[in-house]
Structure 1
Amino acid sequence: MRFPVIVCAVLAAMGSIPVVARDASPLIGVGSQYDTTHVYVAPDDVDKFVASFTATFGGQSTKQVVATVTPTPSSTTSQLIQTPVGTVSLFGFKTPIPYPFGTERTGYLVTDMDAAIKAARAAGADVVVTAFPDPIGRDAVIQWPGGVNMQIYWHTTKPSYAVSQTVPDNRVYVSPDRADAFVKSFLRFSHGKVASDNPHASGVEIGRAGDTYRRIRIESVFGKITVLVTDGHLPYPYGREMTGYEVANLADALGKAKASGATVLIDAFNSDHREMAMVQFPGGYVAELHAAAK
């Protein structure tokens, strides 16, 4: 059965049918297990972060190396922390961090860097750092409508990571003025879909109990994105977290986090069939943790 365009738009807004980007560009994503959150901490906090993060979620870190991962001179420790709930690229810069590095929130593996840049531009993104070589491949930084920076990367030798037990949420805060533009652009680039669009989500999820806000959830080959559309009146630490991690038992995860040196900033609460909390790991990295509500 085919719906008229106007009817499709209405049904999509009501959540009755998925919103899927229609585009002839190639699918350049590889898989959600290659979506890494970029975490920057001071060199003295690197080992403490790794110990706390892996104690909370499980998993392990690759061997730490010292490298230049920017197109201009710099030096940082670099390692990949792979856990059952998602992956982190961890950097401990020994030199000042060249701009705009540190503002990108994630790294997405692509099959072809040049094709990915072309697709990003066609979808409405700005290429704020043009492609450059790193020790194991090529990188670029793109910016989506709403000022959301992401890194895309390509490896000379194709990597092979195990699929995570759960797929983390890339938590993106944007204004009402740019939310639709962000969603449209990212869907075109990722060939993804809108899994849900709730214009009256509970404000308790952003620290404003009694209010509502718009929450959009996107799914694609790159993983999950939760778009939090707000007026920017956000109590700390909301807006500081970049990723939400799904765990089997929230109380257990919070206990492990506290025992390993992390701080629970927002204790567990329920919303949208989830238990949720906010945690700060050693070095300052803030994350949302959630589990299915009992």
Structure 2
Amino acid sequence: MAAASVLLATVPAVPASTDTPSGSTPSGSSSIAVGPQYDTTHVYIEPGKMPAFAASWKATFGGSSTAVSVTDVTPTPSQTKSQLVFSPVGTLSVFDFQTPIPFPFGAERTGWLLTNMSTGIKQAQASGAHVIVSPFPDPVGRDAVIQFPGGVNTQVYWHTKAPAYKALTTIPENRLYLPADAANSFLGSYLKFSSGKVVSDNSKADAGEIGLTGKTFRKISLTSPFGKTVILVTDGHLPYPFGREVTGYEVSSLSSTLTKAKAAGATVLWGPHSAAGRDSAIVKFPGGYVAEIHDVQQTSHAGQQ
């Protein structure tokens, strides 16, 4: 949680409230996002598996990682090992909790860096999202957790001093599985908060890409200054491992990436499978993190594995 902010314990804590932005907002824009390279997937790793996970991830995608720190990243007493993992396809905040995880932490999917925390909270509430963890200080800024309609939890964070991460080679997808009766209310709130837009809305998408060959489902693709989002609207009758993957990562070659992943200790749980103009697979990395990986090439495979 709190993404990069938890890793710099030598920086003094900020005051209880502040309005100094952690980044700049383009003139005339209502976006409070800093950029997709600062929006991390939160990975809660199996105890003791952080080194194996980081090594496997970097061997698969390239990149680097920060040193592991031990800190409290919640508003109530707790302790976790924490590490940032950078890669060309996305940034991860990795946690190995040494104490029980305080509620509701562990259910948030991502951490989004905001230009201004107080503005972000007001924007979340105006969009119909709920603030389920009020802003609290961490060593280098402030954090909060918001919940969009449909029960989607997102941590938002702000830095006293703006960080500087490399731009990503490809932008990852936030993959959200929602029931039909929550999809439209979620869309209205999420798009308003994120200053996003709908790229496509296909009510008859090929459900083979979520393991349901011969069926269709509603698939909605969004983009915003925070990055990409894919909403998969289903009846919840999903075969394993679908719904376990939080984020989808785009690579230039799925086959070569899967070869690297398997050599680095990861397991291919499903795929490769060709649908919707791309090849995809679902992979489990050491420590339990499950990810969707895809390329955009039209290739043929012998079928699902």
TM-score surpassing 0.5?
A: yes
CA deviation vs aligned residue, 1:216-237 (integer Å, no higher than 9, x gap): 0010000000000010001010
1:236 and 2:247 equivalent? Answer: no
Shift of 1:43: 3.3
Letter in 2 for 1:178: A
1:156 and 2:147 equivalent? Answer: no
Shift of 1:135: 1.4
Name stretches of at least 5 consecutive residues in structure 1 with no aligned partner: 1-23
| 3-state SS of 2:223 partner | strand
Contact 1:43 1:77 in 2 (8 A): no
Aligned twin of 1:291: 295
Aligned twin of 1:5: none
Letter in 2 for 1:98: P
Aligned twin of 2:113: 109
What's the TM-score, normalizing by structure 2? 0.87
| 3-state SS of 1:231 partner | coil
| 3-state SS of 2:56 partner | helix
Aligned twin of 1:218: 222
Name which of 198, 204, 209 aligns with 1:194: 198
Contact 1:145 1:182 in 2 (8 A): yes
Contact 1:192 1:219 in 2 (8 A): yes
- When the two chains are superposed, the root-mean-square deviation of aligned CA atoms in Å is 1.1
CA distance in 1, matches of 2:30, 2:48: 42
1:62 and 2:69 equivalent? Answer: no
Aligned twin of 1:52: 56
| 3-state SS of 2:132 partner | strand
CA distance in 1, matches of 2:241, 2:167: 30
CA deviation vs aligned residue, 1:6-48 (integer Å, no higher than 9, x gap): xxxxxxxxxxxxxxxxxx9932111111110000013310001
CA deviation vs aligned residue, 1:186-222 (integer Å, no higher than 9, x gap): 1111111100101011011111000100000010000
Shift of 1:156: 1.1
Name which of 268, 276, 279 aligns with 2:280: 276
Aligned twin of 2:148: 144
1:183 and 2:199 equivalent? Answer: no
Sequence identity of aligned pairs in percent?
58
What's the TM-score, normalizing by structure 1? 0.91
CA distance in 2, matches of 1:180, 1:25: 24
CA distance in 2, matches of 1:136, 1:65: 14
Shift of 1:63: 1.3
Letter in 2 for 1:108: W
Runs of 4+ residues over 4 Å off in structure 1? none
CA distance in 2, matches of 1:113, 1:79: 23
CA distance in 2, matches of 1:108, 1:263: 28
| 3-state SS of 2:181 partner | coil
| 3-state SS of 2:193 partner | helix
CA distance in 2, matches of 1:26, 1:292: 31
Shift of 1:283: 1.1
CA distance in 1, matches of 2:81, 2:113: 20
1:208 and 2:198 equivalent? Answer: no
Name which of 158, 172, 178 aligns with 1:174: 178
Contact 2:204 2:218 in 1 (8 A): yes
Name stretches of at least 5 consecutive residues in structure 2 with no aligned partner: 1-27, 299-305
CA distance in 2, matches of 1:191, 1:258: 38
CA deviation vs aligned residue, 1:117-142 (integer Å, no higher than 9, x gap): 10000000011101001111110000
1:32 and 2:44 equivalent? Answer: no
Aligned twin of 2:129: 125
Letter in 2 for 1:180: N
Aligned twin of 2:9: none
Shift of 1:256: 0.6
CA distance in 2, matches of 1:175, 1:136: 37
| 3-state SS of 1:54 partner | helix
